[in-house]
């Protein structure tokens, strides 16, 4: 401090006051930190000490050995990176009365043994590398979170993930890198979203996927390239979408498919060779559509199919030879159409099969 006073005593007094001011600022800062730590609320929850401050989970430590932790009814908004102190738990849930929205990479560090994570009914915004520390995670549920975007790299590090639940969100599209980094994924749940389009081959790297749920979305079109790479898929669920037709070879990329659900769409036409490549298909649901036009050879190649559901459509006539080669066919359900009888010989219905006109 430069003294502008002739009176040295006044000058020294000014210096002292300035020093005291600086000391007061620094002291206030440290007091704020101490208060934050001392004012945080800590609870004992099923063998864990759970601390939070102003909606942020700040610290979780184990008081005794437990494998499961449910952190509920705390109205949490976020998780401080590093909050989990090397816990050995296998299951963690935030699904009851929290409002977690902002998470950063590192939020789940200290959970190297975790196998199941439930973030249902929050407001999580996905960001790249959010789960990168969870290399042993097998099941991740983020239902009812208003998610509208899946950034590339969101699921990086989840090399053992088998189940992924993203139902009941606002996802509108699936892009090429939406689900990168999931080499072991078997079950993908995307029902009750707003998906209108699936970028061709965007799921191609999910080459172990067994079941794909896309019910209750807004999908208007599928192409022969939509499901490229899903060579092990056994169940595809597309109920309650906005499909209007099934083009030729629409499912040619799914050689292992056994169950196909296309009910409750707006399908009007089944094109010839619509199901080419589905040589293992056993169950085909096409009920509750607007099908009025079934082209010849529409079911060609379905050599293993056992049940076909066509009830509640607008079918007037079945083309000759429609069921030719369907040697495993057992039942065709065709009630609530404009048909009163079918010439079994003309449509080449196998002798082992029955057509049901009423429920």
pLDDT digits (tens, 9 = 90+) for 261-278: 999 999 999 999 999 999
Question: What's residue 305's pLDDT?
Answer: 98
Dihedral over Cα of 104, 106, 109, 114: its sign? positive
**Domain identity same for 208 and 339:** yes
**Domain identity same for 207 and 350:** yes
**Domain identity same for 59 and 107:** yes
**Domain identity same for 260 and 354:** yes
**Domain identity same for 56 and 135:** yes
Classify residue 71: in a domain, yes or no: yes
The predicted-structure confidence for 185-214, as pLDDT tens digits, reads as follows: 999 999 999 999 999 989 999 999 999 999
Which residue among 185, 215, 242 closes a domain? 185
When divided into structural domains, the chain yields a total of 3
Which residue among 128, 153, 185 closes a domain? 185
Which residue among 160, 185, 210 closes a domain? 185
Classify residue 24: in a domain, yes or no: yes
Cα dist. 358→40, 311, 337, 338, 350 in Å? Answer: 66, 9, 10, 12, 20
Classify residue 266: in a domain, yes or no: yes
The predicted-structure confidence for 138-156, as pLDDT tens digits, reads as follows: 999 999 999 999 999 999 9
**Domain identity same for 203 and 351:** yes
**Domain identity same for 179 and 213:** no
**Domain identity same for 180 and 225:** no
Taking the model in full, what pTM does it have? 0.88
Judged against a pLDDT cut of 90, whether residue 335 lies above it is answered with yes
**Domain identity same for 213 and 138:** no
Average pLDDT, the chain: 90
Residues 281 and 257 sit within 8 Å (Cβ to Cβ) = yes
Question: What's residue 9's pLDDT?
Answer: 52
Classify residue 190: in a domain, yes or no: no
Q: Which of 69-73, 151-155, 313-317, 355-359 has the lowest mean pLDDT?
A: 355-359
Classify residue 307: in a domain, yes or no: yes
DSSP string covering 103-171, please? --TTTTTT-TT--EEE-TTS-PPP-TTTTTT-TT--EEE--SS------TTTTTT-TT--EEE--SS--
Question: What's residue 201's pLDDT?
Answer: 86
Residue 175's Cβ-side half-sphere holds a number of Cα atoms within 13 Å equal to 11
Q: In the structure, what pLDDT confidence band is assigned to residue 233 with cuts at 50, 70 and 90?
A: very high
DSSP 93: E
Question: What is the domain range of residue 10?
Answer: 1-39
Q: In the structure, what pLDDT confidence band is assigned to residue 33 with cuts at 50, 70 and 90?
A: very low
Q: Which of 130-134, 206-210, 245-249, 346-350 has the lowest mean pLDDT?
A: 245-249
CATH number where 160 lies: 3.80.10.10
Spatial distance between the Cα atoms of 213 and 233, rounded to a whole number of angstroms: 11
Q: In the structure, what pLDDT confidence band is assigned to residue 341 with cuts at 50, 70 and 90?
A: confident
**Domain identity same for 31 and 45:** no
Classify residue 191: in a domain, yes or no: no
Q: Any idea which residue has 């639940």 for tokens? A: 165
**Domain identity same for 249 and 221:** yes
The mean per-residue pLDDT over the stretch 77-84 comes to 98
Classify residue 303: in a domain, yes or no: yes
**Domain identity same for 220 and 80:** no
Classify residue 297: in a domain, yes or no: yes
């Amino acid at each position: 401090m430069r003294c502008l006073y002739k009176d040295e005593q006044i000058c020294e007094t000014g210096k002292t006051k300035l020093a005291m001011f600086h000391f007061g600022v620094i002291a206030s800062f440290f007091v704020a930190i101490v208060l934050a730590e001392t004012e945080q609320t800590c609870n004992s929850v099923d063998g864990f000490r759970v601390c939070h401050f102003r909606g942020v989970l700040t610290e979780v430590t184990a008081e005794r050995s437990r494998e499961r932790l449910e952190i509920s009814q705390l109205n949490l908004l976020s998780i401080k990176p590093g909050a989990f102190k090397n816990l050995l738990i296998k299951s963690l849930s935030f699904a009851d009365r929290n409002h977690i929205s902002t998470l950063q990479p590192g939020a789940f560090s200290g959970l190297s043994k975790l196998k199941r994570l439930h973030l249902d009914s929050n407001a999580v915004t996905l960001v790249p590398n959010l789960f990168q520390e969870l290399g042993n995670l097998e099941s991740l549920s983020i239902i009812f979170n208003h998610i509208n975007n899946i950034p590339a790299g969101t699921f990086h590090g989840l090399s053992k993930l088998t189940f992924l639940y993203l139902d009941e969100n606002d996802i509108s599209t699936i892009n090429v890198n939406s689900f990168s980094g999931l080499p072991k994924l078997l079950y993908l749940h995307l029902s009750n979203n707003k998906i209108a389009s699936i970028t061709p081959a965007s799921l191609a790297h999910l080459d172990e996927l067994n079941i794909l749920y896309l019910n209750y979305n807004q999908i208007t079109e599928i192409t022969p390239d939509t499901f490229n790479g899903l060579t092990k898929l056994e169940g595809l669920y597309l109920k309650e979408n906005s499909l209007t037709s099934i083009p030729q070879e629409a499912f040619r990329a799914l050689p292992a498919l056994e169950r196909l659900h296309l009910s409750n769409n707006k399908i009007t036409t089944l094109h010839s060779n619509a199901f080419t490549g589905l040589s293992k298909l056993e169950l085909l649901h096409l009920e509750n559509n607007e099908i009025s036009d079934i082209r010849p050879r529409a079911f060609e190649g379905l050599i293993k199919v056992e049940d076909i559901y066509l009830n509640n459509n607008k079918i007037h006539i079945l083309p000759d030879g429609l069921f030719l080669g369907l040697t495993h066919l057992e039942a065709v359900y065709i009630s609530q159409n404009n048909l009163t009888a079918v010439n079994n010989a003309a449509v080449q219905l196998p002798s082992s099969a029955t057509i049901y006109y009423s429920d």
